[in-house]
Amino acid sequence: DKIKQGLKKTSDAVNHSLDSVFAAFVKVDDDLLEELEEALILSDVGASTAAKIVAEVEKRAKLRKTTTADELRDLLREVLTDNMLDNQPLNTDGKPAVILVIGVNGVGKTTSIGKLAARYVNEGKKVMLSAADTFRAAAADQLEIWAKRAGADIVRHGEGADPAAVVFDSISAAKARGSDIIIVDTAGRLHNKANLMNELAKIDRVISRELPDASRETLLVLDATTGQNAVHQAEEFNKAAELTGIILTKLDGTAKGGIVIAISAGLGVPVKLVGVGEGIDDLIDFDRAAFLEAILP
Ligand code: GDP
């Protein structure tokens, strides 16, 4: 029930705004649909996604001749389910699998990598961390602390080193030690889209050459407490990198969890993992049904 706990603030807020719509229900008309749209926007679903969801609710309500608040609630849950991507666990088949992690400073990138490493170590896997965020010296130091805590190996170079060279050495070390998973911490900043694309392309070439058959993930870490700003970051990064998923952190600290819908239904990138606390086991697989159950019981 970690997801339920982590979503407490969000579910309280979303329940509150949707309940007032259902409580005022008389029939499905323009006023009601407008209120529903407003409630979704209030819940950080985002204006364009809210409009899309409500248009679909309207269409299906007409077809089904929806006449009660309960039917409308079920219909909304159904439309949200159909518009959000299904659960997609990380693909770590093959050996070693490579997980690239990108995101701006402060979003919880290092913490999430540490938690992920700990999880795989607990599953009996051998994990190699690759400190390819060579932009800040402190980044590799932080990652090293997490490597120790999680029981993972780490490869690091000095500050300002070539990230692709770090990745190359990490792959060699992973092959030598028989690692199952390499998790790469990249600088992955977006201050300059061309720079980010070049950096990721260079890393990509090294991985493709050294591990042509490896399972790959490119995960963007977003801070849920920043609400629509996180959605905006997702849009920008999605143009610069081939994202396979999102890690949404700090869900426990915010009522803005509705951005999961904006990202999944609006942007079409799956939220794969959510951070629900600062502890080492507070990173869990995202579950669409559990999420919708929490916000629309
Ligand atoms: P980075 O700069 O992106 O590497 O960010 P850090 O990993 O250093 O995390 C920044 C802060 O966010 C730290 O204080 C973390 O403990 C905190 N943090 C990360 N994930 C979560 C989460 O899911 N929930 C909470 N409450 N705090 C988190």
Pocket test for ligand 1, best of 249, 256, 271, 280 (most atoms within 8 A of CB): 249
The pLDDT of 11-27, averaged and rounded, is 94
Quote the pLDDT of residue 208: 95
Reply yes or no on whether the pLDDT at 135 is more than 90: no
Q: Hey, which bits of the chain come out as E strands?
A: 97-102, 127-132, 153-155, 181-186, 216-223, 245-249, 271-275, 283-285
CA–CA gap between residue 80 and residue 269 (Å, rounded): 15
Give the ipTM. 0.99
Binding residues for GTP: 103-110, 185-189, 249-252
* Å from CA of 171 to ligand 1 middle: 27
The answer on pLDDT for 190 being more than 90 is: no
Distance of CA 250 from the midpoint of ligand 1 (Å): 7
Q: Indicate the SS3 state at residue 283.
A: strand
Mean pLDDT of 45-52: 96
Q: Where are the alpha helices (DSSP H) in 151-284?
A: 163-177, 193-210, 228-240, 259-261
Give 255's DSSP letter.
Answer: S
Whole-angstrom distance between the N-terminal and C-terminal Cα of the chain?
Answer: 14
Q: C-alpha distances in angstroms, 89 versus 156, 180, 193, 231, 279?
A: 28, 17, 28, 21, 21
Residue ranges around ligand 1 (CB below 6 Å):
103, 105-111, 249-250, 252-253, 275-278, 282
Model confidence pLDDT, tens digit, residues 244-281: 999 999 999 999 999 999 999 999 999 999 999 999 99
For the annotated binding site, the residues are 103-110, 185-189, 249-252
The pTM (predicted TM-score) of the whole model is: 0.96
Atom of ligand 1 nearest to the CA of 276: 23
Q: Is the pLDDT of residue 228 over 80?
A: yes
CA of 27 to the centre of ligand 1 (A): 45
Contacts of 205 (CB under 8 A, 6+ apart): 164
CA of 222 to the centre of ligand 1 (A): 10
